Amino acid sequence: MTLSAEERYPVAEPRPAPTLADTGPLGEILEATRARHLPNRQGALADYIPELAAVEPDPFGLAIATVDGRLIATADAELPFTIQSVSKAFVYCIALELVGRDAVLERVGVEPSGDAFNAIVFDPHTNRPFNPMVNAGAITATAIIHQATGGHAFELILERLSAAAGRRLELDEAVYRSESDTGHRNRAIAHLLHNVGAIDGDVDAVLDAYFRQCSILVTACDLACMGATLSHIGENPITGRQVFDLTAVRNTLAVMFTCGMYDYSGHWAYDVGIPAKSGVGGGVVGVVNRQLAVGSFSPRLDAKDNSVRGVAAFKDLGEELGLHAFECSNIGSSYVSALLGAPQA
Ligand code: GLN
């Protein structure tokens, strides 16, 4: 008997609705952060994918999901947008789990590239993509999954991302078509990857899975839940489902820390100091290990292709909540716990 994709990769169980941010002290901080940066209209929409240039530019949503299963959200945190490069972190995690760290490292490195996400450049020492958070490395990770699943990469990716979000995610067909019709640069990268032996098999099928994974619709709440699943070492703290393998999560967070914000990653680590990943759809996810994750959505991008308001909000939240990995004041995890009150039963 042949199983359908739905049967092979069952639908994720729905998660409960978020608590609105005007309840509780952590919510108030989230709401105040949003209010502070809402008037900022700097930056521009990504326009190299025609469909992205047509999105509504003004929404701004923030959400926090905690490892004890709370989800706190502001207005706009349940508006859908395409995940774009935020998918790269989760897809890398799946690739690690499927074939193991050594096989993945043979095909894609873990060094920051210092270049733009779509740079057509490989590590000169290895002739492999620098890391899985830029397009070349991400297409390689998708190729690994394509090979390991016998051509079912997208079904598996959609199922795992849905399980991490705690609800069934869907594809934005129009963005997928737009990206697939205009993705000549990614095609060039994929064919070069094939040429250097980093990917093999059907290049077009791998690219199709990559374009689809970038066009999955998510919300800021979804990103917070997906991040909290990494923060909670692979278990979705809201649905209780084990989604990712523990060791794969550790390796993924390490690469998000050093490479997640493109060629702004060094500055981000310095100022915000948490593993994160952004996408040209305007999403950013930031993970505070064993505590919480923040999801943000605001589509206008800065010169490094990160969300303008997203970066500003993370800087403020990081400062206010003491989220930096090397925070040396007394705030940090105990402060966030105090703000949240007693853990949920
Ligand atoms: N789909 C986009 C691309 O491949 C993703 C880029 C991004 O979010 N930085 O170009």
Residue 110 sits in a domain of what CATH number?
Answer: 3.40.710.10
Evaluate whether residue 38 is within a structural domain: yes
Q: Tell me the average pLDDT across 252-270.
A: 96
> Band of the pLDDT at 38, cuts 50, 70, 90?
very high
Per-residue pLDDT tens digits for 187-227: 999 999 999 988 988 999 999 999 999 999 999 999 999 99
* Beta carbon of 305 within 6 Å of any ligand 1 atom: yes
Residue 270 domain-assigned (yes or no): yes
Does 311 reside within a domain? yes
Which range of residues forms the domain containing residue 34?
25-323
Ligand 1: does its nearest atom lie under 6 Å from the Cβ of 279? yes
By annotation, the residues acting in catalysis are 85, 88, 210, 262, 280
Q: Torsions phi, psi of 170, nearest 5?
A: -130, 165
Alpha carbons 178 and 194: distance in angstroms, whole number = 24
| Cα–Cα distance measured from residue 63 to residue 268, given in angstroms and rounded to the nearest whole number | 19
Q: Does a structural domain hold residue 62?
A: yes
Tokens standing for residue 284 = 């950013």
**DSSP 3-state of 132:** coil
Over residues 11-40, the mean pLDDT reads: 84
More reliable by pLDDT, 7 or 20? 20
Residue percentage of the chain with pLDDT more than 70: 92
Q: Is the CB of 280 under 6 A from ligand 1?
A: yes
Q: To which H or E segment does residue 87 belong?
A: helix 87-99
- The answer to whether 343 and 59 are in contact (CB under 8 A) is no
Confidence of residue 1 (pLDDT cuts 50, 70, 90): very low
Q: What is the pLDDT of residues 135-163, one digit of tens each?
A: 999 999 999 999 999 999 999 999 999 99
CA 135–ligand 1 middle distance (angstroms)? 7
- Asked whether the predicted pLDDT for residue 100 surpasses 60, the reply is yes
Summary mean pLDDT of the chain: 92
Q: How far apart are CA 32 and CA 286, in angstroms?
A: 18
pLDDT for residue 328: 73
- In this structure, is residue 61 part of a structural domain? yes
Counting the structural domains of the chain, the total is: 1
Report yes or no on 113 lying in a domain. Answer: yes
**Mean predicted confidence (pLDDT) in 171-183:** 97
DSSP-assigned letter for residue 242: B
